[in-house]
Chains A and B, each alone.
Chain A
């Protein structure tokens, strides 16, 4: 299986900050990388697919980049509603989909 490792596991930030979350794959996955946001007690929501494509309806302050093994999710200016847990997920292997362990974004 392809292992996905996110860093950091948690971080504290303030409204208006620029935040970057990193996801690393154990082998090259080209651009087969998606990002999800999950708020407590809610289902995850797709933010970014194919490493850098913004899902319809998602604010433009969210962006994704990377290819191969290293990827980033950037929030350009944190808003109060962005405090949540973020997961990366690889879709390179159709036989086994894997998620990162999650990054919890908290208010400083």
Chain B
């Protein structure tokens, strides 16, 4: 069974750091890009960032709201993706979802999408 399991959430004070983990199983982790999406209480979905597979350089992209504070990394040998969150703010309070980024070719074009989601882990930033 294809599965993603997030861990590492909790209560943290503003300005502090937290690292989330996403453990994958049921598929060849290293073949896929991985993404993080968050959802503040009662709000919609917000993309946080993603990391490409090593075949595409393992590079990362981030939303403007977290750029410079959050870092995504991966350990393909362990099938784990990480989200390192520094200088946390109260507005970072959310459920954080890990997703697999799948894709399909149609002619010359490659379409990508988030086809597998974890159940999420809750991060609360409060003093």
Q: Do A and B come from one complex?
A: yes
The residues of A with any CB-CB pair to B shorter than 8 Å are 1, 30-32, 34, 36, 38, 42-46, 49-50, 53, 55, 87, 89, 91, 94-102
| Segment 57-79 of B: residues with Cβ below 8 Å from A | 61, 63-64
Q: A49-B113, A91-B111, A99-B47 are in contact. Are A43 and B64 (CB under 8 A)?
A: no
Q: Most chain-A Cβ atoms within 10 A of its Cβ — which of B61, B113, B114, B117?
A: B113
Q: Most chain-B Cβ atoms within 10 A of its Cβ — which of A36, A44, A87, A102?
A: A44
Residues of B within 8 A of A94 (CB): 61, 112
A91:B117 contact, CB within 8 angstroms = no
Binary A-proximity of B108-127 (CB < 8 A = 1, otherwise 0): 01011111011110000000
Smallest Cβ-Cβ distance to B119: which chain A residue:
A43
Q: A87-B45, A96-B61 are in contact. Are A46 and B115 (CB under 8 A)?
A: yes
Partner of B104, one of A42, A53, A98, A101: A53
Smallest Cβ-Cβ distance to B49: which chain A residue:
A97
**CA distance in complex: A32, B109 (Å):** 10
User: Dominant SS at the B interface?
Assistant: strand
Query: Please, how many residues of chain B have a CB less than 8 angstroms from a CB on the other chain?
Result: 23
22 contacts between A and B (CB under 8 A): A1-B64, A31-B109, A34-B114, A43-B117, A43-B120, A44-B45, A44-B114, A45-B117, A46-B115, A53-B104, A55-B115, A87-B45, A91-B112, A91-B113, A94-B61, A94-B112, A95-B61, A96-B47, A96-B61, A97-B47, A99-B45, A102-B44
**CA distance in complex: A100, B46 (Å):** 9
The residues of B with any CB-CB pair to A shorter than 8 Å are 35, 37, 44-47, 50, 61, 63-64, 97, 104, 106, 109, 111-115, 117-120
B114 → A minimal CB distance (Å): 6
- 4 cross-chain pairs, A with B, having the tightest CB-CB distances, nearest first: A50-B111, A43-B117, A49-B113, A97-B47
**CA distance in complex: A32, B112 (Å):** 8
